[in-house]
Amino acid sequence: MGKAISGESMVEVEEPLSPAARLFQTRQFNCYIIAIIGCKTVFNSNVIKAGLEHTLIKHPRFSSLMVADKMGGEMRWIRTKVNVEDHIIIPNVDPNMGSPDQFIESYISNMTKTHLDDSKPLWDIHLLNVKTSEAESTAIFRIHHSIGDGMSIMSLVLACTRKTSDLNALPTIPTKKRQRSSNSGRFIRLVSYIWFVLQVICNTLVDVVMFIATSAFLRDTRTPLKGAPGVELSPKWFVHKTISLDDIKLVKNAMDMVRLYIISLFL
């Protein structure tokens, strides 16, 4: 049962895991979300701690333990009191090291080999005051995937920030204003929508047939992205690469597709 603070008393309230959260608790899908944030100033741990106490840990998932039910063994979220200092990790590193960029990549790679302590909420943040080629310091979030997916985590982090012009105002994302269309424009949109639905149905049928055929006798096409047998057991290495957002837009527009919609949504 989770714990909610009400005055001086603690009221226990249980909440079962969602199907996705239960999936990510299995041995085959024990996944973590790694988020890297570069900053143009050196981190002040006291400021980070105060910010987390006023924002992040107020979210139920970041202040809950995952505990098995005593009756049936089913995993449930349990609210608990969070000590932010237990989740902030500041390693002792040499700020004048020779190859800081490679050090950051190696540090993140080593994080994938360790597990979060399940006796506390399943997240932590590592503060590295090491100057790289693009930042004065680097923060690394490690969050268990059962807490949420990438989009929900991005939305939560965005909600924890404030405008530089108004420290009490939430940031806003610019949106395109839709122009009012005429009746002819509505008819064209209706026809386009019907054609889109027909394409989806046709592509779905083709995909189902290809899936059945691949399961029965076909084999996956060999591509440079296809790993060799046992690749899932090899150590992972995170490589940082700066990509121009204009290039992403160019690829999206050239392909005339919406596959890059999630990325272009923030452009």
pTM for this prediction: 0.69
pLDDT band at residue 97 under the 50/70/90 scheme? confident
Rounded mean pLDDT, 105-123: 88
Residue 148: band (very low, low, confident or very high) from pLDDT cuts 50, 70, 90: confident
pLDDT band at 98 (very low <50, low <70, confident <90, very high): confident
pLDDT per residue over 188-204, tens digit each? 888 889 999 999 999 99
Q: How does pLDDT run across 32-76, given as a tens digit for each residue?
A: 888 888 999 999 989 999 989 888 888 888 999 988 877 766 788
Structure tokens, 120: 């506390």
**Mean per-residue pLDDT over the chain, rounded:** 81
Q: Is 253 helix (H, G, I), strand (E, B) or coil?
A: helix
Whether pLDDT at 217 is above 90? no
For residue 11, what is the enclosing H or E element? strand 9-16
Contact present, 111 and 142 (Cβ < 8 Å): yes
SS3 assignment for 38-61: EECCCCCHHHHHHHHHHCHHHCHH
- Render pLDDT for 153-173 as a digit per residue (tens, 0 to 9): 888 878 888 888 887 888 877
Which of the residues are catalytic? 145
Which structural domains are found in the chain, ordered by start? 2-159 (3.30.559.10), 237-267 (no CATH)
Output the pLDDT for position 181. Answer: 57
Residue 259 above 60 pLDDT? no
Which residue type sits at 152? S
Identify the weakest region by mean pLDDT among 58-72, 129-143, 151-165, 231-245.
Answer: 231-245
pLDDT beyond 60 at 141: yes
- The 3-state DSSP class for residue 197 equals helix
Given a cut of 50, whether residue 7 has pLDDT beyond it is: no
Residue in this structure with the two tokens 């059945």, named with its chain if needed: 212
In whole angstroms, what is the distance from residue 210 CA to residue 205 CA?
9
